[in-house]
Amino acid sequence: MAHSLHYSTAFRRRWALQSLITIQKLCFTSNSESTVLHGFAGGGIILGNHGKRLTPALAYIDQTYLSGSVHDNLTNYKLFQRIRDTEIFYSTFEQNQFAVAVSPLPVTSCKNLRVSPDEVENPMDVVSRNSVRRCIGMGVHALQRRGTREILVDPCGDAEVAAEGAYLAAFVYDELKSVARQTIKPHITCYTNHLASSSSSGASVKEDMLAAWQRGRILAMSQNLARKWMEMPANYLSPSAFAQQAASVFDGMSQVRTNIRSSEWCREHRLNGLLSVGAGSRRHVAFVEIIYEGDPARCKNHVALVGKGVTFDSGGISLKRSTGMEEMRADMGGAAVVASTVYGLASLGVPVNVRAYLPLCENMPGGGAMRPGDVIRMANGLTVQVDNTDAEGRLILADALHIACKHPDFVGEEPSLIIDVATLTGAISAALGDEFTGVFSNHAASHKAAAAIWHSAEAPSSSLATETEEDIEPIEDTEDEEEVEVGLQIEQPLMRLSPARGPTLWDCLRTSATIRGDRVWNLPLLSTIPLCEQAHLADLVNVTGGSNAKKGGSGTAAAFLNFFVPRHIPWMHLDIAGVMRPDLRQGYMRKGMAGSKCIDAKPENVGCRSSPA
């Protein structure tokens, strides 16, 4: 019985290989304009397979050249139902070798997805987006290993997602290796020959598919830009080098302008948190501003993005352990994600105004480094007692958040929304593992007017301009709260907003992240009282000690940042320390740094849009 089963499997595989050889011969011998892969010798094509069902691309080849025999035999013999990984079949014609990579696509129920099926491209059950990315990514990896330089990709029902999977999978940072050891970077193209282009409707479908492919390519290349920066060694990517590279990617984009501020500018505007963190390194700090005006008519209505940019974090005087310290070259991941997000927005021409702020420095234990016990006077007037120099990210973010709210060149122009991104705390990994981004937000971000910033084209320039008396409730001051407010001398209105009646900013971000394949989780802001009570030398302490030393480290960091954002401005803090490396179980990204894509670049998913795409 075992011998019979082995023979049957071998027979089915030989039949499949013979069918693909037949396809290859038909492709290269046909002189008609409908030739499937004419002139594509030595390359490869990636096709998806839904168990018994074929993707439209594979079905087209089957029906056009093989009279449906592939579908019939797959149904009868169930050849690919046992496949759990990509299968590659080779064929030759006139001494040219061609590879066909067939990857599995699990079928998912439509009710579990938020993606509408394309009736023309995908008449079968809808496949989850990550399954498409995984299918295409596995095929790209398999063909890259065999040295394929030209790859055609089956859109698998969603050309945008297929492009993301292909380009994210093809990326590898090996620029510093010798040429012989570098991975081949293939030229990737969307396969559209299975679409009829004779009619106007067919041409329109093909045009839409290529537009979706181009959009997915831009999104993937933007994320790959962040991955490249995060992978670069610190001796190649100093703060000044990062500033120059971040500015150079926007060359030729008329709607984007960049400013690289020197340490003298930072000193003039009292960015003492940034200057103190960078004082231990011989490399000077830099502060980068990236201003994208996708909607010039409403330039005052903008979203502010802030990214932590510590190009190497040794911990300073509070030195880190040597294990894993080499990965601290990626502690500028927040700045990389923010810069690449603006690049994606500008490349797609999204009608939104964004101002990005990147505080860049190194945290080193040099002779001028800040010491535990030092007190820093921040740009907003608060003083901070430094109890741990390894909690440096919140210090530079605090300065950047203050500039985002009260920039000296844009007096009176407050952002409608602030999002900061940072590889801030290792505690977020303890809380959420390595699959989730931790999200914190203030009370203004939970209000319905804040959600309108994300969605509505009619969002007001002031996020709370549409408030009514019914939406505002007085706060009953407690003795502790009054002591904290008076002691810090923070001008805060004694009012709070009622909870949102409808989608909040968190709901918008979660939807956007789900579409992009990221996982996010909403976490609460912790009490700010311990940060004040334990600071006997200053207004605040940068970390809590004693019984609170190992409790809620991520929430404590977010609570610290909350002191530097006015209450009436919606603010969200994304801690991406747990997801700085990709989840290899997804199958479409290699080992290394992941970047991030949870800030979606679609106009309907980015704040302050002025018109639909």
pLDDT tens digits, one per residue of 353-390: 999 999 999 999 999 999 999 999 999 999 999 999 99
What's the confidence (pLDDT) of residue 50? Answer: 62
**Cβ proximity of 308 and 396 under 8 Å:** yes
Select the more confidently predicted residue: 56 or 323: 323
CA atoms of 451 and 607, how far apart (whole Å): 9
69-77 and 2-29 helices cross at what angle (nearest 10)? 170
Tell me the CA distances in angstroms from 387 to 274, 390, 540, 542, one per residue in order.
16, 9, 10, 6
**For residue 339, pLDDT beyond 90:** yes
Given CA atoms 189, 191, 196, 201 in this order, what sign does their dihedral have?
A: negative
- Domains 38-228 and 233-370+389-450+502-524+551-586 in one fold: no
Question: Any catalytic annotation for residue 320?
Answer: yes
Q: What angle do CA 216, 221, 227 make, to 5 degrees?
A: 130
User: How far apart are alpha carbons 604 and 613 in whole angstroms?
Assistant: 8
Give the integer Cα–Cα distance in Å for 179 and 219.
28
What pairs with residue 472 in β-bridges? 497
505 confidence band (pLDDT: 50, 70, 90): confident
Higher pLDDT, 493 or 40: 40
Helix (H) or strand (E) holding 529: helix 529-533
Question: What fold characterizes domain 233-370+389-450+502-524+551-586?
Answer: Aminopeptidase (3.40.630)
Domain 38-228 in CATH 3.40.220.10? The answer is yes
The number of beta carbons lying within 10 Å of the beta carbon of residue 344 is: 23
Give the pair of three-digit tokens for residue 296. Answer: 């010039």
Count Cβ atoms within 10 A of the Cβ of residue 442 and give its class: 0-12 exposed, 13-18 middle, 19 or more buried.
Answer: buried
Q: Is 394 in the active site? A: yes
The whole-number pLDDT of residue 72 equals 66
For residue 390, give the nearest of 327, 325, 278, 314 by alpha carbon. Answer: 314
pLDDT, mean of residues 445-453 = 58
* Boundaries of every domain in the chain: 38-228, 233-370+389-450+502-524+551-586
Q: What does the pLDDT read at residue 391? A: 93
pTM for the full model? 0.80
CA dist 341 and 523 (Å) reads: 23
What tens digit of pLDDT does each residue of 49-60 get? Answer: 665 667 777 677
Residues in contact with 295: Cβ distance below 8 Å, sequence separation at least 6, in sequence order: 301, 351, 352, 353, 608, 609, 610, 611
Q: Which of 360, 357, 361, 359 is nearest to 289 (CA)?
A: 357
Q: What's CA 314's distance to the chain center, in Å?
A: 25
Q: Which of 53, 320, 496, 581 is catalytic?
A: 320
What is the mean pLDDT of the segment spanning 291-318? 91
- The pair of three-digit structure tokens given for residue 246, joined into one six-digit string: 């971040």
CB atoms closer than 10 angstroms to residue 58: 24
Q: Is 231 left (phi over 0), alpha (psi -120 to 50) or beta?
A: alpha
Catalytic residue among 227, 261, 394, 448: 394
Place of tokens 């690449």: 340
Report the distance separating Cα 174 and Cα 187, nearest Å: 17
Tell me the helices (H) and strands (E) count for the chain, helix number first.
17, 20
